[in-house]
Amino acid sequence: MAILEVNNIHAYYGNIQALRGISVTVEEGEIVTLIGANGAGKTTTLRAISRLVNPREGSIQFDGEDLSQFKAHELVYKGVAMVPEGRGIFAKLTVGENLDMGAFSRDDSANIQEDLERVFDLFPRLKERRSQVAGTLSGGEQQMLATGRALMANPRLLLMDEPSMGLAPVLVESVFETIQRINKEGTTILLVEQNAMMAFQVANRGYVLQTGEIVLSDSVENLRQNEMVQKAYLGVE
C-alpha cells in the first residue's frame, strides 16, 4: 500500500490557482522526486501535504489516514517531517539546540539519544559544531542541520524542499549521497528539486510539474529518455 496518496488536489493563493489537480503516489521505502520550473507548484504541493496550505479540492492520505483532519503541527506526530525550503534553521540557537527542537514531538528520551547519535554519524560536522550558533554555519552545514533536525523526529516520510538550493556543486553531490543513505536506513523521501539531473540519480520515480499540473510521471529511467525532459530539464540538445 502506498504510504502517501495525493489525489487530485487543487490549491489557491487568494484567487490564483497554484495547483490544478495534482496526484502523487509514494510507496513505502521509495524516493520520489517532483521536478519542474519555478512556479510549477512543487513547493505548494509540499506545503499542501504538510498542511501549511489547505487544498480546496482533492484528498491527501498518509498511511491510509485522511490528512485533512490534522493541523500542520500534528503531522510530525504522525511521522511526516519536513526540511523546509531555504533550510529554515533556528539561526540564533546552537546546533545542539536545533537538533533538540527537532525531537520536540517525542518523549522517548532513550531513543532520542540514539537518533542523535545517528544524525551525528550521518553528519560528523554537526557533532564538531554542536555548540556553535547555527546562523554562523556555512550553507552546506545549514542544510545538514535542517536535514538532521527533521530526522530527529524519527519520521516515516521525509519531505525535502530543494535541498540543493544555493549550494556549491561539490556540496550538492554530498547532499544527494546523504539522501540516499537516509533512504537506505528506512525513511521514505519525497524530494522537490529543480536540479533534475541530481534528483534522477537518487530517485526511483519522478513527476514533472508545469503550471500546477502534472505533465509526466514515470520511473526515472524512462524520464531520462523522454525528449521533453531532456530538453527542458537535463539540458540535452
Partner 1 sequence: MFKKQTIVIQDIIKLGLLAGLISLSMSVIGFIALLGERELIQNVISMGHVFLLAPPIALAYISAEKVLSQSKVKATLFGLLLGIITALPLVILVILASSFDIRQFLVNVSPELIELLTFGQGIFLGSVILLLVSGVAGLLAAGLRTLPDDFREPIITGLAWVFLFGLFSEILLGRLRSIFGRGLTKLIFSGKALNPLFTVFLFIVVAALRYWSKRRRLQAEERGESISPERQQRYQRIRIVLGVVTLLLMPLILGTYLSEVMNNVGLYILMGLGLNIVVGFAGLLDLGYVAFFAIGAYIMGILTSEGQLGLGFTFWTALPFTVIGSTLFGIILGIPVLRMRGDYLAIVTLGFGEIIRILALSDMLKPFIGGAQGVLQIPKPSIFGFDLVKPEYLYYIILIGVLLAWFISWRLRDSRLGRQWMAMREDEDVAEAMGINLVNTKLLAFATGAAFSGLSGGIFASKLTSIFPHSFNLIVSINVLSLIIVGGIGSLPGVVVGALILVGLPELLREFAEHRMLMYGALLIVMMLARPEGFWPSETIKRELHAHEELEMGSD
x/- binding map, residues 114-133, to partner 1, per CB under 8 A? Answer: -------------------x
**What is the rounded distance in angstroms from the CA atom of residue 69 to the CA atom of residue 32?**
25
The residue range among 13-21, 68-76, 191-199, 223-231 that interacts with partner 1, by the rule CB under 8 A, is 68-76
**What is the rounded distance in angstroms from the CA atom of residue 157 to the CA atom of residue 177?**
18
Question: Binding residues for partner 1, how many (CB under 8 A)?
Answer: 30
**What is the rounded distance in angstroms from the CA atom of residue 111 to the CA atom of residue 36?**
38
x/- binding map, residues 19-58, to partner 1, per CB under 8 A? Answer: -------------------------------x-x------
For residue 93, state whether it binds partner 1 (rule: CB under 8 A). Answer: yes
Helix (H, G, I), strand (E, B) or coil at 33: strand
**What is the rounded distance in angstroms from the CA atom of residue 93 to the CA atom of residue 185?**
28
For residue 234, state whether it binds partner 1 (rule: CB under 8 A). Answer: no
Sign of the CA dihedral with 43 first, then 48, 51, and 54 last: positive
Q: 50 vs 183, which CB is nearer to partner 1?
A: 50
Residue 22 near residue 212 (C-beta atoms within 8 A) = yes
The residue range among 61-69, 77-85, 167-175, 215-223 that interacts with partner 1, by the rule CB under 8 A, is 77-85
Where along the sequence are the contacts to partner 1 (CB under 8 A)?
50, 52, 71-77, 81-82, 84, 88-94, 100-102, 104-105, 133, 135-136, 149-150, 153
